[in-house]
Chains A and B, each alone.
Chain A
Amino acid sequence: MASPEVQTVADVRALRDARRTGGTNVPALVRAVLSAMRMTLVNLFRKPVTVHYPTTQRPYPDRYRGLLALVYEEDTGEEACIGCRLCEFVCPPAVIKVEIQKGEKRNYAKAFTLELYACEFCELCVQVCPTDAIVMMKSFDMATSDRRELLLDKDRLHTIGLQHEQSWATGNRLRDMQGPPKLAKTAAPKKVPPPAAATPSAAPKEGAQP
């Protein structure tokens, strides 16, 4: 694969030597060297940008995509997850596994496992969730020496949800932000909306139904 057909070694050398400027401009040289050294000296007296990490915490922005968690409904205190498995289907690396448990008024998730060590933190599961059950936290501190601790089951996910601060993004907020402008755009609906088609004409009905 060696022989270059378009440019030969001699061509390279010729091109390189043609660019060489003859002679050295000593004052310009000295000035350039001192200018570079002055730049480092200026930075010597600037405040460092690094902080002492565990003692100084960084303020995380509102939309930070950190650890995943399951949350409870605000008004009833029940688990918000209805076991619909939409997050399981949308997850690109398929780290979520859900088992549905049917109930009289609403469904629950019997088992919910999330393999955090393979999670991409892409927020797609948050986006599709119809009940805002799975959310991301404003924290990522879960370094551990045992990978099994990162296989999160439902209880662990609920615990994480109570321990840290939740970020802004929930399913309904993201969907409201992305779609064409709808009528109901303010707060996320508190009840479980009926699984209607995602057409704008369904929007007024959603807000009206109890």
Chain B
Amino acid sequence: MPEWLLPVIAPFIVLNAIIGIVTYVTLLERKFAARMQSRIGPYRVGPHGLLQPIADAVKLMMKEDIVPDAADRPVYNLAPIVFLAPCMFIFATIPFAPGLGVADLNIGILFFLAISAMEIVGLFMAGWGSNNKYALLSAMRAVNQVISYDLPFIFSALTPVLLAGSLRLSDIAAAQDGLWFVFYPVIGQLAFIFFIVSTVAAENRAPFDILEAESELVAGFRVEYSGMKFALIQLGEYAHILGASFLGALLFLGAWSGPGPEWLGPAWFLLKAMFIFLLVTWVRWSFVRIRVDQILALSWKALLPMTLLLLIATAFVVVWRHSGVA
């Protein structure tokens, strides 16, 4: 195989696989939420609703693309793409098995965190370009919220980095051979909890979904999008959630390690990512949402100091352990 072929094929395969997983993850969420609400969920399209995501995708492709008259055309049209691209890029550095990944950068996790913070640009472009007060209000809330929660997200993700001693994601996964980071006494559990909370908030999932608050702002920044553009935004949102679930599984739950032969590794990885996704979904369907000023207060007054202190404490623990061993 020519040298240049693999780096071209791998992203193609990964992107398609991610899109496929994302569509079926929506079905998983709908069935899970339905069962929690004493109902059945999608059932009729295909056996037990298995063709529902396909039907939704076809419907969105066939819908009329309505563009508001007074919208800012270039900004409005580019926003879904600017929002989707970073959500897809985050899968570049995640290794699905030892040596099986698109680009295993030595600053893997830094790349992930930096790129995922870029979506806020697309989000604000969508809110501004729609020329709609509801969308603008939602976009302003979104900028506030995502920026506030990116910091605790980064700090809680850095705790496993300190424990593993490397920014490369495959190194972090390999360092969990003996003990998964989530089982580290106190530090691991606290970091995991903070990671989950900041993930839920940075992805605009309930109880922090103030920016799309249907009951107040009717879909928020997405309100003027229809058809395929809306589909792209939905795809981006779920891809981000999935990416953060994969990251959480890698950082805390040992990525591909699990009983059985080596080639089962990616399956275990997927299972762990689904576990985190279901955890986030469970939280989403259990709580009412809180107000935007309360969300920001939670971030700046509670989460940020706690994650910072946790990071410093982890640094102390690592130094103490190294000095004890050496």
Check whether chain A touches chain B (CB < 8 angstroms).
yes
Q: Are B37 and A43 in contact (CB under 8 A)?
A: yes
Residues of B in contact, count (CB < 8 Å)? 14
Q: Are A39 and B286 in contact (CB under 8 A)?
A: yes
Q: Which residue of B lies closest to A49 (CB)?
A: B38
Q: Are B287 and A48 in contact (CB under 8 A)?
A: no
Q: Are B285 and A40 in contact (CB under 8 A)?
A: yes
What is the bound-complex CA distance between A46 and B36, given in angstroms?
Answer: 8
**Does B321 touch A at the CB level, under 8 Å?**
no
**Does A52 touch B at the CB level, under 8 Å?**
yes
**Does B291 touch A at the CB level, under 8 Å?**
no
Q: Are B37 and A37 in contact (CB under 8 A)?
A: no
Q: Which residue of B lies closest to A37 (CB)?
A: B286
**Does B59 touch A at the CB level, under 8 Å?**
no
Q: Are A36 and B38 in contact (CB under 8 A)?
A: no
What is the bound-complex CA distance between A52 and B49, given in angstroms?
Answer: 13
Partner among A36, A48, A52 whose Cβ is within 8 Å of the Cβ of B35: A48
The SS class assigned to the A binding surface is helix
What is the bound-complex CA distance between A43 and B287, given in angstroms?
Answer: 14
**Does A143 touch B at the CB level, under 8 Å?**
no
In the complex, which range does the number of interface residues on chain A fall in? Answer: 10 to 19
Given A39-B286, A40-B282, do A48 and B36 touch, yes or no (CB 8 Å)?
A: no
Q: Which residue of A lies closest to B302 (CB)?
A: A24
**Does A21 touch B at the CB level, under 8 Å?**
no
A42, chain B: closest CB distance, angstroms: 9
Q: Which residue of B lies closest to A47 (CB)?
A: B38
**B27-60: which have CB < 8 Å to A?**
32, 34-40, 43
What is the bound-complex CA distance between A143 and B225, given in angstroms?
Answer: 33
Q: Are B40 and A50 in contact (CB under 8 A)?
A: yes
Interface flags for A12-47 (1: CB within 8 Å of B; 0: not) read: 000000000000000000000100110111011011
Q: Which B residues are in CB contact (< 8 Å) with A46?
A: 38
Q: Which residue of A lies closest to B286 (CB)?
A: A40
**Does B283 touch A at the CB level, under 8 Å?**
yes
Q: Which residue of B lies closest to A35 (CB)?
A: B286
What is the bound-complex CA distance between A43 and B282, given in angstroms?
Answer: 12
**B2-43: which have CB < 8 Å to A?**
32, 34-40, 43
What is the bound-complex CA distance between A37 and B278, given in angstroms?
Answer: 12
Q: Are B39 and A43 in contact (CB under 8 A)?
A: no
Q: Are A48 and B39 in contact (CB under 8 A)?
A: yes
**B172-194: which have CB < 8 Å to A?**
none
B48, chain A: closest CB distance, angstroms: 11
Q: Which residues of A contact B (CB under 8 A)?
A: 33, 36-37, 39-41, 43-44, 46-50, 52
Q: Which 6 A-B pairs have the closest CB atoms?
A: A50-B39, A40-B286, A40-B36, A44-B36, A49-B38, A48-B40
Contacts beyond the supplied A41-B36, A48-B34: 16 A-B pairs with Cβ under 8 Å: A36-B287, A37-B286, A39-B286, A40-B36, A40-B282, A40-B285, A40-B286, A41-B282, A43-B37, A46-B38, A48-B35, A48-B38, A48-B39, A48-B40, A49-B39, A52-B40
Interface CB pairs A-B, < 8 A, 29: A33-B287, A36-B286, A36-B287, A37-B282, A37-B286, A39-B286, A40-B36, A40-B282, A40-B285, A41-B36, A41-B282, A43-B35, A43-B36, A43-B37, A43-B38, A44-B35, A44-B36, A46-B38, A47-B38, A48-B34, A48-B35, A48-B38, A48-B40, A49-B38, A49-B39, A50-B38, A50-B40, A52-B40, A52-B43
